[in-house]
Structure 1
Amino acid sequence: MIISVLFYSFVVFAAIQIIYYLSFASFLFIDKKEKKTHKEIPVSVIICAKNEAKNLQKFLPAVLDQNYSDFEVVLINDASSDESSDIMEAFKEKHANIKIINVENTEAFWGNKKYALTLGIKAAKNEHLLFTDADCKPVTKNWIAEVTKNFTSEKTIILGYGKYRKTKGLVNLFVRFETLLTAIQYFNYAKLGSPYMAVGRNLAYAKSEFFNVNGFINHIKIKSGDDDLFIQDAANKKNTTICISENSFTESEAPTSLNEWFQQKRRHISTANYYKKKHQFFLGLFFISKVLLLITTVILFFFYPWEIILPIILGYYMIQYIIVGLSAKKLKEQQVVYFLPFLEIGLLLFQFSIFITNLISKPTHWK
């Protein structure tokens, strides 16, 4: 009796996972009917930096060297204690399109990136805003043009892809796999009309959308979530689109140690508690059904005819390989596909450990 229940549960979990992965294929198909802006529009690129002197020197030139005729760069110095301010001023002397916003620590908003971003957004002179981080660089000189051509009278929020630079090492492989899997999910949810998150490394939206939801006021006390919690408030089926062309990518330096990545993901995952209930449910179902599928598979291989179990689990992995493989090719991360089963199990253990740790203690502020 128990084994029969386990088997039918196994079938249900496999079916749920297969349905999820089939739905994940939606973003691979470009909607040719979707209109795009062909003329250049004025854009404000916003970069919030806290103690990022080295990264500003290294990556800011790639932003300033864009093939775009009408853009300003709003540099937000968020109470830095290093030489960030001096670096910004040095760049400003050579580039007239730079605007610097110096943010002082206040007791109410100490260490709060959202407060700093709000000041930068208010100071931006243009309606259309494009966000990235100080440790990011556009992969091409056409980043601004490629992202902002998706702005239309209806589409006022654009979700982009922020990849991590490929280096040697197991941590780097896991970071890039997790980034790919996350992107597959948020691109597809947006494509299916239910956007739930974005990454601040590559995100664009109209200033009016920011003020329509009173900025970050609904979650200003939450240290993280300037990207995904804003999307929770402002994005919907009509006003949101995605941009996945290679020219639109940004690239960041990946965490170099497991502990650094662990702390980073703790902050990111903690915001999921503030997602809409439907997003919490579907994201949770995807994670839980995957864990239970793997557990029931192992148990049933010992107590149930393997000739029945094997075709089902192979069918699941075949569909997963196809969808993730095509997505990885689209987002230029083909290497991770070769290690898919290993990465999947390792990532599940990693995410579960974060979940337990966050139950015990809260993650710290963004810097």
Structure 2
Amino acid sequence: MTIILLSICILITMIHFGYYTIVFNFFNFTKTSQKANNNIPVSVIVCAKNEAENLKNYLPYLINQKYDEFELVLINDRSYDETADIFETYEQQYDFVKVVTIQETDYFYGNKKYALTLGIKAAKHDCLLLTDADCQPNSEYWIQEMANQFTQNKEVVLGYGAYQDIPKSFINKMIRYETLMTALQYFSFAQIGIPYMGVGRNLMYSKTLFLKNKGFHQHIRVMSGDDDLLINQIANKQNTAICFDENAHTTSPPKLDRKSWTTQKRRHISTANLYKPLHKFLLGLYTFNRLLFWLVLPASLIYVDNTNYQLIIAGLIAIKLISEYIVVGIAAKKLKEKGLVLFTPILDICLLFFQLYIFIYNNIHKPQKWS
């Protein structure tokens, strides 16, 4: 029995080691591409519903981008605050701003994808760069950096959307750690040649590609997934690039409490079941293996009474922790995420069981729409 248990512990650690030293290092060993400036015309798209305060703060950062030719498509998704007035002011002031107003419709009630579709169809350029109303580009060269990766063969560019660092907040560290690890996964899988998702806070793709694949048609009734489900559908090894230069990041204000973050993650995680089978298998294996590790190895360390076996299991735990520190540390440095590496084991365990809770809760309570 002890030999079987030890073999299981070794297998679990080998799977973990494979993800961290092989899969995730496809991103960690990627260097920033030094391509010449691409001057392709770009349509920046922002969909907003009752985002007046955020628009006042963040629209100036979009307006003041240093890029030769771009338009700003502002989608008013049935807002009842000052959003419409703010959009109208910008449209009157700048000739490169276009406003698309969405009217209420019962069939698409509450569905952001309908609003985005109309905005995308209204865009005059083929290169689309999407972000959210609460996102701030890290520099005036955000469009330029993303556009540099959009070439004749690369019609999808995955960017990084960070969250603001709030000192002395454990929830904030959890949110930022989850964002970092998600990016490490989708950047790495894209580099391997099996891209599976992107984030709508910072995402570029071709309008032609969007229309060719009938846009959100396959999952239009799914309330979430305007970013990850679309990329899961249209991205492949040949047409996808990544952009992680610091100047190309966007930063958003994070949720401030557990309840609001839980609601947000319930919405995000609800789409994972619609991923392609290979993506579900690889992501599921990674998460399940993490769960097994923390359930099996510490218990085995206590259960076995052979000192040599205990030393082997302790060594396996050490391998896991050291490989995590190194790989997460490199990724955090590349993505400019400070103050997370030291807490990696604690954050990983808390995030794992938080995700497990969300998964179970979503399967018991399946809301028809998200607020």
Normalising by the residue count of structure 2, what TM-score does the alignment of the two structures yield? 0.96
Instruction: Give the number of aligned pairs.
Output: 365
- After TM superposition, give the deviation of residue 37 of structure 1 in Å: 5.2
Give the Cα separation in 1 of the matches to 2:164 and 2:94: 27
- Hey, what does 1:252 align to over in structure 2? 252
Within a 5 Å distance, the mapping from 1:138-217 to structure 2 comes to 138-168=137-167, 169-217=169-217
Distance, in Å, in 1 between the alignment partners of 2:44 and 2:369 is 24
- Name the SS for the 1:132 alignment partner: strand
Residue 89 of structure 2 corresponds to 90
Asked whether the equivalents of residues 163 and 176 of structure 1 are also in contact (C-alpha less than 8 Å), the reply is yes
Contact kept in structure 2, 1:7 and 1:296, CA below 8 Å: no
Q: 1:10 to 1:282 in 2, by over 3 A?
A: same
* Sequence identity percentage: 47
Alpha-carbon distance, 1:364 to partner: 5.7
Is the 2:43–2:71 Cα contact (8 Å) retained in structure 1? Answer: yes
Q: By how many angstroms is 1:35 displaced?
A: 8.1
Displacement of 1:299 after TM fit?
Answer: 1.0
The yes-or-no answer on 1:326 pairing with 2:330 is: yes
- What is the aligned counterpart of 1:337 among 328, 336, 341? 341
Instruction: Answer yes or no: is the 8 Å Cα contact 2:28–2:327 preserved in 1.
Output: no
Distance in 1, matches of 2:368 and 2:180, equals: 25
- Aligned equivalent of 1:6: 5
The residue aligned with 1:103 is 102
In structure 1, the residue corresponding to 2:270 is in which secondary structure?
Answer: helix
Aligned counterparts of 1:181 and 1:300: Cα–Cα separation in 2: 27
Residue by residue over 1:149-208, the C-alpha shift from the partner in whole angstroms, topping out at 9 and shown as x without a partner, is 111110010000000011121111100000000000000000000000000000001101
Partner residue, 1:122: 121
* 8 Å contact from structure 2 (residues 158, 202) kept in 1: yes
2:357 equivalent in structure 1: 353
What SS does structure 2 have at the residue aligned with 1:241? Answer: strand
Counterpart mapping for 1:306-317 below 5 A: 306-317=310-321
CA–CA distance in structure 2, aligned partners of residues 181 and 265 of structure 1: 14
Query: 1:91–1:52: structure 2 CA closer, same or farther, 3 Å change rule?
Result: same
Q: Which runs of 4+ in 1 moved over 4 A?
A: none
After superposition, residues 266-345 of structure 1 pair within 5 angstroms as 266-304=266-304, 305=307, 306-345=310-349
Q: Is the 8 A contact 1:75 1:101 kept in 2?
A: yes
1:238 Cα deviation from its structure 2 partner: 0.1
Given that residues 267 and 364 in structure 1 are in contact (C-alpha distance below 8 angstroms), is that contact kept between their aligned partners in structure 2? no
- The yes-or-no answer on 1:137 pairing with 2:161 is no
Check 1:152–1:267 CA distance in 2 against 1; reply closer, same or farther (3 A cut).
same
The letter of the residue matching 2:26 is S
What RMSD over aligned residues (CA atoms) do the two structures have, in Å?
A: 1.3
**One-letter identity of the residue aligned with 2:219:** H
Cα deviation, residue 5, structure 1 = 2.2
Hey, what does 1:220 align to over in structure 2? 220
CA 1:164–1:363 in structure 2 vs 1: closer, same or farther (change >3 Å)?
farther
- Report the residue type matching 1:242 in the other structure: I
The equivalent of 1:239 in structure 2 is 239
Q: Deviations over 1:43-101 (max 9, x none)?
A: 00000001101000011111111011211100000001111101111222222211000
Q: Are the aligned partners of 2:157 and 2:240 in contact in 1 as well (CA < 8 Å)?
A: yes
Q: What amino acid maps onto 1:103 in structure 2?
A: I
Q: Which residue identity lines up with residue 291 of structure 1 in the other structure?
A: L
Q: Deviations over 1:92-132 (max 9, x none)?
A: 22222110000012111001000000000000000100000
One-letter amino acid matched to 2:351: L
For the pair 1:43 / 2:46, whether they are aligned, the reply is no
Deviations 1:265-315 (Å, cap 9, x if unpaired)?
Answer: 100000001000111111000001111011111111112232121111111
Q: How far apart, CA to CA, are the structure 2 residues paired with 1:131 and 1:63? A: 11
Give the CA deviation at 1:212. Answer: 1.3
Whether the 8 Å contact between 1:137 and 1:252 is mirrored in structure 2 is yes
Q: Output the CA distance in 1 between the equivalents of 2:87 and 2:9.
A: 56
Distance in 2 between the 1:29 and 1:291 partners? Answer: 27
Alignment partners' CA distance in 1, 2:114 and 2:38: 33
- Alpha-carbon separation, structure 1, partners of 2:368 and 2:83: 22
Amino acid at match of 1:213: N
Q: CA contact under 8 A between 1:74 and 1:124: conserved in structure 2? A: yes
5+ long unaligned stretches in structure 1: none
The unaligned stretches of length 5 or more in structure 2 are: none
**Native 8 Å contact 1:146 1:248 kept in 2:** yes
